[in-house]
Each structure stands twice: as structure tokens, then as C-alpha cells.
Amino acid sequence: MARPESGRRLIVNADDFGRSRSINQAVIRAHQEGILTTTSLMVNEPGAQDAVRLARENPKLGVGLHLSLICGRSALKPTEIPGLTDERYRFSRRPALAGMRYFLSPRLRSELRKEIHAQFERFRLTGLPLDHVNGHLHLHLHPTVFSLLRHHARKLGIQRFRLTRDPFWLSVRLSPGRWFYRVSHAVVFGCLAWRARGPLARLGIRHTDAVFGLLQDGVVDEEYLLRLLPALPRGDSELYSHPSMNHFKHELDALISPRVKDLTRECGINLIRYQDL
């Protein structure tokens, strides 16, 4: 897809597709009525089947895999990956502790590999084209998880990938505050993105130049988008969000806002999917 005169293209993504019917309904509404172009599917969650049905009814919506290895449910039985889940198929809800265990335990590496392949297989069985790959709470950039994805990228069919790097100084200029959260996340994910950039380039896996939303911590509202769009850097960017009909209604409202849609056109921003990179 050709670049617009402004030289700015934007993927607008919704994470957690399939987690609940409320989220599914918000994603489809944001796509049909707003600026949403892609979404990331959690293949193991209760609303996954409903999400796949809705995606088939909306073929212009790019759907990727939202790889879930914490704060979610597994594809494999607990007896197959006993170090990762409890007896109810649930991963740890303590991201920092789980991340440390995944890094330090060779045994868990094998279990992670099996679960990752199982989730990709579940996505393949939906029949949907794989628009992109990312991870719940960005765990796809965790050193152990990224290593597994990199080594099996060809077999898994990974062609486009979220490289989570939210430009810190631009983020601060657009929406100040929450300094500890924002500085810590900017440093951690800046390092992880820097580490991943070279391997992705060697594999020919495409990604955007910047990803917005990380440093907003759930505050992707209309006011933020009205400041972001005119300041969007040249090149390809992603804005990710978590719209729902209840808990994050403000994010849905922002994505379908007439003011946001008008400003997107006025700024000459071309809305694309990952598959258009």
C-alpha cells in the first residue's frame, strides 16, 4: 500500500479479542464505525469462538495472534505443562514472578515451546489469515519467549510482529504524569525492542517504527488521540488499545469519535493493517 502524502501510516489495533463478548462487540463496533483496522485474538479465552465468527463477517479487519502465557488460559492440558498452569488451565497472574521463572528454568522453556505451538495451531484452525503476532502484556518480547518465536518463526508463519517501543519524550509531551510507570516501561521495553530488532530484520519479519499505547497505561481516550494524531511521526506506527463495552468504554468512545475520525483525515494519515506493511 502506497504511503500518503504526509508519509504517515497508522495501524489501530485492539488487544484481547476473544476474551469476552463485551470486548468482541466493542472491537467490531470500533472497526465498523471508527478507525480500528486490526485486532489480536486470544485463542484460549471464553469468547474466542464468537470472536472468530465476527472476524469472518468482517474480512477487512486484520486479525493477529495475541499470544497468552500469563494472566490467561492455556491451550494445552495442565498435565502437559505442569510448570505453567494450575489445574484449571490458568497461567500465573503475577507477571514479574512468572517472567523470572520463564527466564531461569530450562524445564519451563520446553513447556513454553509446546504451548506456543499449540496456540499458533489453534489460530491456524480458525482459517483466518495471520495478520500479526504480539503477546498479552507484551510477553512476546520476553527473552525466553522471543528466542522461541525467533527460532520457530518460519514454521509458525510469523511475518509481522509488534516491536513494542513507545517514544518516551513524545509520550511525555502528549500526556505527562505517572512517571515511575512510564520511565520503567520505557526503559524495559526500549531494551527488549533494541534486542529484538536485529533478529527480526534478519528473518525479514516486518514491524512498525513506533508503537503507541504502552506508556498510556489504559488511558487511550479521545483527548490523547486528538493530541497524538497531529504529532504522529513519519513512517509506520501502531496505536494499540483495549476497547470494551464496560471497563474500557472510554477507549471505544475514542476510536469511534467523529472528531478523531475527522482529524485522521485532515492529517492525511493512512489507516492500514499489519499485512499492508
Assess whether pLDDT exceeds 70 at residue 3: no
What are the grid coordinates assigned to 240, written together? Answer: 494499540
Helix ranges (DSSP H) in 76-142 = 95-104, 106-126
pTM higher than the cut 0.85: yes
Q: What are phi and psi of 272, to 5 degrees?
A: -130, 175
d(CA 212, CA 237): 7
d(CA 75, CA 158): 19
Alpha carbon 23 to chain centroid distance? 14
pLDDT of residue 218: 78
Question: What pLDDT digit, counting tens, does each position of 100-150 carry?
Answer: 999 999 999 999 999 999 999 999 999 999 999 999 999 999 999 999 999
Question: What pLDDT digit, counting tens, does each position of 179-227 carry?
Answer: 899 999 999 999 999 999 999 999 999 999 999 999 998 789 999 999 9
Place of cell 516491536: 163
d(CA 239, CA 13): 6
pLDDT band with cut points at 50, 70 and 90 for residue 248: confident
- Is 190 in contact with 220 (CB distance < 8 Å)? no
Mean pLDDT of the chain: 95
Q: Shortest CA distance to 92 belongs to which of 49, 58, 136, 126?
A: 136
pLDDT of residue 25: 97
pLDDT of residue 45: 97
Question: What pLDDT digit, counting tens, does each position of 72-94 carry?
Answer: 999 999 999 999 999 999 999 99
Place of cell 480500528: 36
Range in 59-63, 215-219, 238-242 with the lowest mean pLDDT: 215-219
> What domains are there in the chain, each with its CATH number?
8-61+133-276 (3.20.20.370)
Place of cell 472468530: 52
Q: What are phi and psi of 219, to 5 degrees?
A: -120, 50
- Is 74 in contact with 91 (CB distance < 8 Å)? yes
d(CA 71, CA 12): 23
pLDDT average, residue stretch 63-74: 97
Helix (H, G, I), strand (E, B) or coil at 212: strand
- Is 123 in contact with 171 (CB distance < 8 Å)? no
pLDDT of residue 4: 56
pLDDT average, residue stretch 154-158: 97
d(CA 150, CA 257): 38
Assess whether pLDDT exceeds 90 at residue 176: no
Query: From residue 193, how far is each of 91, 199, 237, 273 by CA, in Å?
Result: 24, 11, 14, 20
Place of cell 518465536: 149
What percent of the chain stands above pLDDT 90? 93
Assess whether pLDDT exceeds 70 at residue 155: yes
Rg of the Cα trace of the chain? 18
Q: What are phi and psi of 115, to 5 degrees?
A: -70, -40
d(CA 54, CA 74): 22
pLDDT of residue 5: 56
d(CA 135, CA 161): 10
Assess whether pLDDT exceeds 90 at residue 30: yes
